[in-house]
Amino acid sequence: MGRYVLRRLLQLIPVFIGTTFIIYALVWAIPQDPFAGKCGQRPCPEAYISAMSDKFNFDDPLPLQYLKYMGNVITGDFGDTFSGISVGEQISTAYPTTVKLAIVALLIEALIGITAGVLTGLRKQGFLDNLVLVSTLFLISLPVFVTGFVLRLYLGPQGLDLFDVGVDATDPTFAQLILPGFVLGSTSMAYVARLTRSSIAENRHADYVRTAIAKGQPTRRVVGVHLLRNSLIPVITFLGTDLGSLMGGAIVTEGVFNINGIGGLIFRGIQEKEGITVTGVVTMLVLVYLLMSLIVDLLYAVLDPRIRYE
């Protein structure tokens, strides 16, 4: 196991480099002129161009630019934007908000999704099954921003006034993030419910479940220990990798609810062509995503003894 963890950690490095390099190349190399539109209608002054080229290493070949950038990032220096704002500071103010939002979304989707999935997987074709099936279909087919706008309008202050949607700019409370978190996690919640349902329904007739029932285990234990542990493996994979996509997908939800997270940061970064903000934020997101997938892989071995790492 120890060797496996070490090997897996070493494997993370090329993936990290690959992903960040692709983003770096997309942001910096493919647009021909990084100065296009930077100085209004007229071309940028020579002094500005040479100063900025120096700062962002535009004169070096792309791999070298990338290496220099990553070298700085490893020491914790995310660089400054064209206008001299520290990207590290931007990230450290926006990041905690998005992490909070994503965690709230993950908790909500896991709680509701797994509960719904287990209940319907055990008892197919009932009223509850149809209800869950229809509502998951509904959630899957509705784009997140539609769910967001509709829920904000009808559950926010203008409607039933159930939720406080005036999210604090700097430090939102968990209560304020419940509605945005629900919206952010709504699509994944449906996936979790369906995954759990099909997985439970498949394993329900497995031999080990029959054996457990035959030897007189109480239903609670059969479902909670035997069935759930084996059925949740695909669900855990999904939830683990979903945290990364939730943080990236928060861009839409943050827009709908006016939350000051990394979504807005990236969007402004792209519109104002501050490539360094985009690469900085993406690097952090990729890191979160990779660590989560590592944890998921390790959980595999714990949850399913049939899977062995040698």
Partner 1 sequence: MSDPGASGAGLERAAASAVGDLSHVDDSSQKQGKPRSLWSDAWGELRRKPTFIISLVIIFIVVVMAAFPSLFTSVDPRAANLDNYLKTPSADAWFGYDVQGYDVYARAIYGARASLLVGLFSTLLTVLIGSVVGIFASYAKSWVDSLLSRFGDIFAGVPFVLGAIVILTTFNSPTENPSAVRIITQVVLSIAVLSWPVSMRIMRSATLVAKQQDYVKAARGLGASPLRIVFRHLLPNTVAPVLVYATIALGAFIGAEATLAFLGIGLRPPVVSWGVMISESRDYFQAAPHMLLFPAGFVTITVLAFVILGDAVRDALDPKSR
Rounded distance between C-alpha atoms, residue 220 and residue 203, angstroms: 16
Q: Which is nearer to partner 1, 22 or 51 (CB)?
A: 22
Classify 86 as helix, strand or coil. strand
CB-based contact 98:177 (threshold 8 Å): no
Query: Minimal distance in Å, beta carbon 22 to partner 1?
Result: 7
Task: Please give the full DSSP string across 165-232, using - where no structure is assigned.
Answer: ----SS---TTTTHHHHHHHHHHHHHHHHHHHHHHHHHHTTSHHHHHHHHTT--HHHIIIIIIHHHHH
What six digits make up the tokens of 181?
Answer: 């978190």
Q: Among all chains, which residue has been given the structure tokens 């909070």? A: 100
Q: Which is nearer to partner 1, 115 or 241 (CB)?
A: 241
Q: Which is nearer to partner 1, 119 or 251 (CB)?
A: 251
Query: Minimal distance in Å, beta carbon 200 to partner 1?
Result: 11
Query: Minimal distance in Å, beta carbon 47 to partner 1?
Result: 26
Compute the chain's Rg from CA coordinates: 24
Q: Which is nearer to partner 1, 175 or 234 (CB)?
A: 234
What six digits make up the tokens of 208?
Answer: 């080990």
Sign of CA dihedral 36, 29, 247, 249: positive
Query: Minimal distance in Å, beta carbon 173 to partner 1?
Result: 25
Query: Minimal distance in Å, beta carbon 93 to partner 1?
Result: 19
Q: Which is nearer to partner 1, 117 or 249 (CB)?
A: 249
Q: Which is nearer to partner 1, 50 or 158 (CB)?
A: 158
Residues of this chain that interact with partner 1 (CB under 8 A) are 11, 14-16, 18-19, 22-23, 26-27, 30-31, 137-138, 140-146, 149, 153, 187, 191, 194, 198, 201-202, 205, 234, 237, 241, 244-245, 247-249, 251-252, 266-267, 270-271, 278, 282, 285-286, 289-290, 293, 306
Q: Which is nearer to partner 1, 37 or 50 (CB)?
A: 37
Residue partners of 258: CB distance under 8 A and separation at least 6: 167
Query: Minimal distance in Å, beta carbon 175 to partner 1?
Result: 25
Query: Minimal distance in Å, beta carbon 24 to partner 1?
Result: 10
Rounded distance between C-alpha atoms, residue 76 and residue 70, angstroms: 10
Question: Between the CA of residue 221 and those of 4, 194, 226, what are the distances in Å?
Answer: 32, 22, 7
